[in-house]
Amino acid sequence: MTIDSAVFYTADIDKVVAFYEGVLGFTVEYRRDDSFVSFILDNGVRLGIKRAVEEREVPGAQTVFIGVENVEGLHEKYQSLGVEFYKPLSYLKGFGKNFSLYDPDRNKVQFVERELA
């Protein structure tokens, strides 16, 4: 069993596309006007971002964890681009190195380089 996709909610599709594609370097797989965009990651997992229209769709209330290699280099890159961080680069025994940042809606994107067993 694998995770296929996750969905965040936004107030502004154009703003999140500019952030995820232009700043974070994610690849847009599909876009439907100003209502939905899907980004595809290197491992085939998708991050969908939907414009919030229902009461339960609250921008800023979601978190996604993305596994990466060289988390320190990625942290330096995003730091040089002026990205707003939620949690600084840190190490947690048994988990690994990680940091998290805010997207334009204050959703959290956490990058983790897992500790090898």
Alpha helices in the chain (DSSP H): 13-17, 71-80
pLDDT bucket at 3, cuts 50 / 70 / 90: confident
Tally the domains of the chain.
1
Per residue in 40-68, pLDDT tens?
988 888 999 999 999 999 999 999 999 99
Whether the pLDDT of residue 2 is over 80: the answer is: no
pLDDT of 44 reads 86
In angstroms, the CA 31 to CA 50 distance is 10
Apex 80 CA angle, 79 and 86, nearest 5: 15
- Model pTM score: 0.89
Per residue in 53-109, pLDDT tens?
999 999 999 999 999 999 999 999 999 999 999 999 999 888 899 999 999 999 999
Range of the domain at 14: 5-114
Whether 67 contacts 50, CB under 8 Å: no
What is the pLDDT averaged over residues 10-37?
95
Residues 6+ apart with CB under 8 A from 69: 113
CATH of the domain at 53: 3.10.180.10
pLDDT of 42 reads 86
